[in-house]
């Protein structure tokens, strides 16, 4: 089954404790991205990757890191999480950037206390 | 100015009616336009994509694009209670996707 898989689905952590949210897709998509969704602000792109070893900042990259060492994986790293990073996070992939739709993972609800 | 703007709603329509959802975007260079449906706590799922001016129909859904007016709309005919969700307009501009904040739709039985 074609899918985007995120883990974990739910995470509660403390301020400053490094964490990684994994994302994997099995559709051989070139384009992957991370979003956060907050009430009243909608989905905002954090980082995106157009292919292996090619990543770029989206609209809200501060406090986040990503890497794309393999085509299928695109982990999101919070090196020192803060409470304002409490949010619902989605990973998405597309065949390539441009005229193709995004397929979303199930989401990760992160709470930083 | 936000890249993509939608009325947040809520929009309520009776079952069987037509629901009309609207979206405007700011970048004239935008090439691809999408409508996603999102149920509460779930991930967005694609309903329609549209790339050229005019109408595109898929079942009960019709997407309309007017690039001159920078306007995208989604019509849902014969609305069903299961259509109750938040509808997100998305625009592909350059290398990025921009989403509106969504319109909440409630279909009343």
DSSP tag of A14: -
Average pLDDT for residues B7-21, to the nearest whole number? 93
A98/B31 CB distance under 8 A: yes
pLDDT in tens, B26-76: 999 888 999 999 999 899 999 999 999 999 999 999 999 999 999 999 999
Instruction: Write a three-state SS string for A64-101.
Output: CEECCCCCCECCEEECCCCHHHCEEEEEEEECCCCCCC
User: How far is it, in rounded angstroms, from Cα A91 to Cα B67?
Assistant: 29
Say what the pLDDT of residue A111 is: 98
Phi, then psi, of B51 in degrees rounded to 5: -125, -20
pLDDT in tens, A59-102: 999 999 999 999 999 999 999 999 999 999 999 999 887 667 88
Q: Is residue B106 very low, low, confident or very high in pLDDT (cuts 50, 70, 90)?
A: very high
Q: In whole angstroms, what separates CA A38 from the centre of its chain? A: 14
> Is the preceding peptide bond at A8 cis, omega within 30 degrees of 0?
yes
Closest alpha carbon within chain A to B97:
A45
Contacts of A42 in chain B (CB under 8 A): 88, 99-102
Say what the pLDDT of residue B95 is: 81
């Amino acid at each position: 089954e074609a899918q985007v898989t995120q883990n974990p689905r739910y995470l509660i952590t403390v301020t400053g404790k490094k964490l990684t949210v994994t994302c994997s897709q099995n559709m051989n998509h070139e384009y992957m991205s991370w979003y956060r969704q907050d009430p009243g602000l909608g989905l905002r792109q954090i980082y995106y990757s157009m292919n292996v070893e090619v990543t770029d900042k989206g609209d809200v990259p501060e406090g986040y890191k990503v890497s794309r060492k393999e085509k299928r994986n695109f982990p999101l790293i919070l090196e020192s999480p803060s409470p304002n990073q409490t949010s619902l996070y989605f990973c998405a992939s597309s065949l390539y950037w441009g005229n193709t739709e995004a397929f979303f993972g199930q989401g990760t609800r992160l709470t930083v206390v | 100015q936000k890249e993509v703007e939608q009325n947040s709603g809520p929009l309520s329509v009776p079952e069987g009616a037509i629901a009309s959802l609207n979206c405007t975007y700011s970048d004239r260079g935008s090439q691809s336009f999408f409508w996603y449906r999102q149920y509460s706590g779930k991930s967005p799922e694609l309903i329609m994509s549209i790339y050229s001016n005019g109408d595109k129909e898929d079942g009960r859904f019709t997407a309309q694009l007017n690039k001159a007016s920078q306007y995208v709309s989604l019509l849902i005919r014969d609305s069903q209670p299961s259509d109750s969700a938040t509808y997100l307009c998305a625009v592909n501009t350059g290398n990025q996707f921009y989403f509106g904040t969504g319109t909440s739709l409630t279909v009343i039985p």
